[in-house]
Chain A
């Protein structure tokens, strides 16, 4: 590192006058970032919030209606349904992947890593992680074809193994569609917690496990009493990130079901999208997305808080 320094600046002995307010002159470097943020994030966000108090339709001048949009939301069963579906998405994209990811990561780490080598671990990990790198639109195409009612691979497979009675219109039946979308999201999401947890497990002192094993602790009890508490910071990070991702889920719903059938898989982000661009009720759409934003920011703050506490409690 020192070599780089010397090579980089040798022979540059210019202006060494006493710098005035040396700390604040760095603020200039922040200028492009702050301006860009104002233009792309702050101004649009404030506009969106402002529009949520109007009856704007995207053209003409907006009329101020105060809290009318929010009052209407309270009575809008479509709105409540979309948030109920969000909870299902949190289960599918945060709770299940975290739980399954923990067990998979620990099993890969404890058994496969120790007895079959890191190559095997890398291959298995890559298989689980692969769906994470696919564009969600592509994952949606793959699955809507597999889950198709006629000729869909899943139905064909059920027929082939003699379970024809289990065949379903996976994405077209209002009673099943939401669960099908949930299944796809578990598939998409599982690699992320797995990879984070595997990285976290490398921090855990192997001596702890060895000592517990000598004391006669089984795998589950070591998992429960040693592994879990040790990687608690990672668990909070993963839960926070995945919950936020679940609340924002859009592409999968757009490609798989378009919110249907009959609104059975509608979610807030898709709901606001159609309200903006299909119904052109911009004011109402803005109210939906503002509520979504408040929920996401609140959850993010809780998540950050838990994470900080877990890291402090860790003593690291």
Chain B
């Protein structure tokens, strides 16, 4: 009885705290479907009278949101795939090949992952201009492939370091070369970990702000994050427009969250302590 009395207040407190976390998003959703007149009459806290979708539609057309979504999907998707491939190649040499000086190679990748992007951003901006890659989605894909692969290499190297050697030895006896062992054995067996990495790389790249802000200046190349951030920074939007923007920015994130929830939470646990 005493434990029952003790645990309900804890549950209630936790529920209140959880509600506090999602309330900002709920208010945004409420106000994104209000008409401007309704907003100015009743303020942000009232319930909407009906569904007013024009604000969302106006904003969508004004910023060409389909294009922004496409850019974000293209960039994040390409980075997720390329960075996983690069990570696997690196980790294969370090974790399974056990090349000489692997500790130093690994330290090199870890340090690269910890460098702040601020210390790379101007040279990358300058070099990409020289190379004719400035303001292209390709430039952002290349840069983030490398940055994400630094983390991927670190994580996968320790995973592949514990890969059962017997399997590889058996394949060698059967005459498989290193390339075949990598693609036919190591990659299929490590598929769960690679999946986690891919989800992470996708979402991290989707959320990136500084480098895309610097590199993607033309409207046709901007990602969702950059387009919304730049608009907000200029403070050109009224309240309804702001809410439409916020809601349209939140929705893809929530979709990914629901799709990948299990992968995400499991992945964090693996990534953090390995």
Contact = CB atoms under 8 A, between A and B. Distances in A.
Contacts of B138: none
Given A32-B89, A146-B24, A23 B116 contact: no
Main SS at interface, chain B: helix
A75 B37 CA distance: 52
A37 B142 CA distance: 10
A29 interface: yes
Interface residues of A, number: 109
Contact of B233 (A37, A133, A255, A297): A255
A251 to B, nearest CB: 4
A1 B14 CA distance: 43
B123 interface: yes
Interface string B232-243: 110000010011
Interface stretch (A65-73, A173-181, A272-280): A272-280
A250 B208 CA distance: 10
Interface string B200-243: 00010011011001100000000011101100110000010011
Interface in A123-171: 123-131, 133-138, 140-146, 151-153, 156-157, 160
A146 B209 CA distance: 21
Main SS at interface, chain A: helix
B171 interface: yes
A212 interface: no
Interface residues of B, number: 106
Contacts of A300: 111, 114
Given A33-B149, A145-B242, A137 B120 contact: no
Nearest to A11: B174
A199 B274 CA distance: 12
A140 B213 CA distance: 15
Contacts of B224: 135
A4 interface: yes
A30 B209 contact: no
Given A24-B99, A37-B112, A142-B246, A127 B44 contact: no
A280 to B, nearest CB: 10
Nearest to B144: A40
A145 B25 contact: no
Contacts of A156: 43-45
B44 A151 contact: yes
Contacts of B254: 130, 133
A42 B109 CA distance: 11
Nearest to B262: A122
B28 interface: yes
Interface in B238-274: 239, 242-243, 245-246, 249-250, 253-254, 256-257, 261, 264-266, 268-269, 272-273
Given A1-B164, A5-B171, A30-B93, A237 B86 contact: no
A37 B109 contact: yes
A142 B32 CA distance: 11
Given A26-B99, A44-B127, A297-B114, A290 B250 contact: no
Contact of A41 (B118, B120, B177, B245): B120
- 4 closest cross-chain pairs (CB), A and B: A26-B97, A199-B269, A137-B229, A138-B249
25 contacts: A1-B167, A8-B188, A9-B174, A29-B93, A30-B94, A30-B99, A33-B109, A40-B142, A42-B112, A44-B123, A44-B124, A45-B115, A124-B14, A129-B257, A130-B21, A133-B254, A136-B209, A137-B209, A138-B249, A199-B265, A200-B273, A251-B209, A255-B229, A292-B116, A293-B115
Given A4-B189, A8-B180, 8 more contacts: A29-B182, A45-B115, A124-B15, A130-B257, A133-B254, A248-B116, A277-B214, A285-B122
Interface of A: 1-2, 4-5, 8-10, 12-16, 23-30, 32-33, 36-37, 39-45, 47-49, 51, 58, 104, 107-108, 111-112, 115-116, 120, 123-131, 133-138, 140-146, 151-153, 156-157, 160, 187, 190, 192, 195-196, 199-200, 233-234, 237-238, 241, 244, 247-248, 250-251, 254-255, 258, 268-269, 272-273, 276-277, 282, 285-286, 288-290, 292-293, 296-297, 300
